[in-house]
Every structure is written in C-alpha cells, then in structure tokens.
Amino acid sequence: MNRVFRRLIVSFSLLSLIACGDIYKTELEEPTEGITAGFFQANDGVSGKELWRTDGTAKGTYRVSDINPGADSGRPINLFRHEDALLFAGNDGETGFELWGSDGTEQGTRLIKDINPGPDSAYPLFMVRYRGQVLFTADDGDFGKELWVSDGTPQGTTLVLDINRGSEGARPYHLTRVGDLVFFTADDGIYGRELWVSDGTAQGTRLLKDINRGGDSSFLAQLSEVDGLLFFRADDGRHGRELWVSDGTADGTRMVRDINPGSSPST
C-alpha cells in the first residue's frame, strides 16, 4: 500500500478516535487483564486468581504459579510481553502489587523487585519496551507515581527521574514508543500535564513542549505512532481539543489543523 495513502487512512482512524473523546472515560489506572502471549489470569476454584498459560489445547493449558499461596489470589494484572518473558503486576500477599516476571515455569516466576517496600503496592503499569529494557509507571511510596525502568533484575529496576519533585508524583501516562524516544504525558507541578519524552535516562527525560503555556494542562490523549510520528489530541488553550503531531522536537510538535476553527474543540 502507498505510504502516503496508508498514513491518511491511519490519520482518519485517529480522527475517529478523537471524535469519540467525550465518551472516552476509561480510568487510566484501571488494572488490565486479558491474554498476553498465551498468559492469562484464571481461578481454578482452589488457588484463587493466579497466572495461567495456554497453547490452545486442554493439555497445554496449565497454572504457571500460585503466586499468593493457598486460596487467596495473586491476581496478575497488566500483563506485558518482554522478549521471551512476561512482566506483570502481582500480589503475593506480603508485598502488595509489585513487578513480577515469568518465563512460563513455576521456578521462573518471581518477584523482580518490591518497589514500594512492605505490603503497600507500587502498581506498575503503562509498560513499554525500549532498548532491551522496559519503561513503566510505578509508585515507590516516597516519590509518588513516577517513571521507572527495568532490565528484569532487582538491581536494574530503578527510578528514572522524580519529575514532580517530592511525594506528589507526575503520574506518567500513555507511554508510547516512537523510534528512539518514549513519549508520555506528565505533570511536573509547574506546567500542568504536558508532553514529555525519555530515552530511559534521567538526562534524557524532559518536557518536550508546554502546549498550553503556563500552569494549565493541554489534556493530551490518544497517543499513537504512525510512520515514525506521534499523533495525539491536545488543547493549547486557544483552539480547543484538536489533532496534533510530533517528530520528537519542540519545533516539530504542532497542531495538524484547527478542524473546528476558533476556540471550540473539534471533539
């Protein structure tokens, strides 16, 4: 299919998503379930909701591990495939919902790190692959919900940057990889919720553009990668909610078109 034509098709799809913005009420921090790479959550009536795996046959469908031993549930959520393993948030009954990993065997299913030490939960979510690692959002109990990175080891699971300094938390949402950058929305306590980028390091994590200048938020949503560009919905405070695009630079982050001219939103 012609590259330009394909981009137009995807762009129109994005516009359709944006047009549904008013009914897009999904709670961003709501746990996600479902099947990922054959892994899923199930309750066999004995061990509670635990991690299971299937190859599509009865014989090949089995419980991987009883994360929270006994009848209580480990309730694996936010399942994410990373290379040949699975990352997820699980609760063993002692550490709360923390970052776990599994290779599909009981022996290879383990707590990677108790990010929020003790029984409180870190609730890792919004996982995205980046250069052999995974970027995600988590709460360590000190800095609030901030950007974290993991290579699958306890030592390699660290806070990237305390974006909103202190315990408030920047709440990085919508992590989306585009080329050599991971885009996301965050609130640093100064500019409101705006567009940020990261390369997985503190030095490479920065505010890309203050779209709605000052302390007001630009209400970014529906971040999507299309042919090496990021498309999203935003409100710059003058044109209402419109379609925007970014190439990863401040100058290249711009409104595509004021579809509904003036300050009224097009969504």
Q: What one-letter code names the amino acid at 261?
A: P
Residue 11 pLDDT exceeds 50: no
Q: Is residue 56 part of a domain?
A: yes
Please state, in angstroms and as integers, the Cα–Cα distance from residue 13 to each residue in 28, 217, 224, following that order.
Answer: 21, 25, 10
The helix/strand count (H/E) of the chain reads as: 1, 19
What pLDDT is attached to residue 44? 96
Q: Is residue 103 part of a domain?
A: yes
What pLDDT is attached to residue 9? 39
Q: How confident is the model at residue 22 (pLDDT cuts 50, 70, 90)?
A: very low
Q: Is residue 117 part of a domain?
A: yes
What pLDDT is attached to residue 25? 37
Q: Which residue has the higher pLDDT, 57 or 21?
A: 57
> What is the percentage of the chain residues whose pLDDT exceeds 70?
87
What pLDDT is attached to residue 13? 43
Residue 2 pLDDT exceeds 60: no
Q: Is residue 233 part of a domain?
A: no
pLDDT tens, position by position, 157-175: 999 999 999 999 999 999 9
Residue 21 pLDDT exceeds 80: no
| φ and ψ at residue 175, rounded to 5 degrees | -55, 125
What is this structure's pTM? 0.85
Q: Is residue 110 part of a domain?
A: yes
Cβ count near 214 (within 10 Å): 10
Residue 262 pLDDT exceeds 70: no
235-238 long-range Cβ contacts below 8 angstroms, 24+ apart: 235/211, 235/265, 236/211, 236/212, 237/212, 237/213, 238/263
Could you give the number of structural domains in the chain?
1
Q: Is residue 86 part of a domain?
A: yes
Q: What one-letter code names the amino acid at 21?
A: G
pLDDT tens, position by position, 65-90: 999 999 999 999 999 999 889 999 99
Q: Is residue 14 part of a domain?
A: no
Domain enclosing residue 107, as ranges: 31-123
Q: Is residue 265 part of a domain?
A: no
What pLDDT is attached to residue 15? 44
What pLDDT is attached to residue 83? 86
Q: Please give the sequence-ordered ranges of beta strands (E in DSSP) within 68-180, or none if there are none.
A: 77-82, 85-91, 97-102, 110-113, 125-130, 133-139, 145-150, 158-161, 173-178
What pLDDT is attached to residue 47? 96
Mean pLDDT (the chain) is 89
Alpha carbon distance 143, 172 (integer Å): 12
pLDDT tens, position by position, 202-248: 999 999 999 999 999 999 999 999 999 999 999 999 999 999 999 99
What pLDDT is attached to residue 169? 96
140 closest CA partner among 164, 167, 165: 167
Cβ count near 32 (within 10 Å): 13
What pLDDT is attached to residue 259? 75
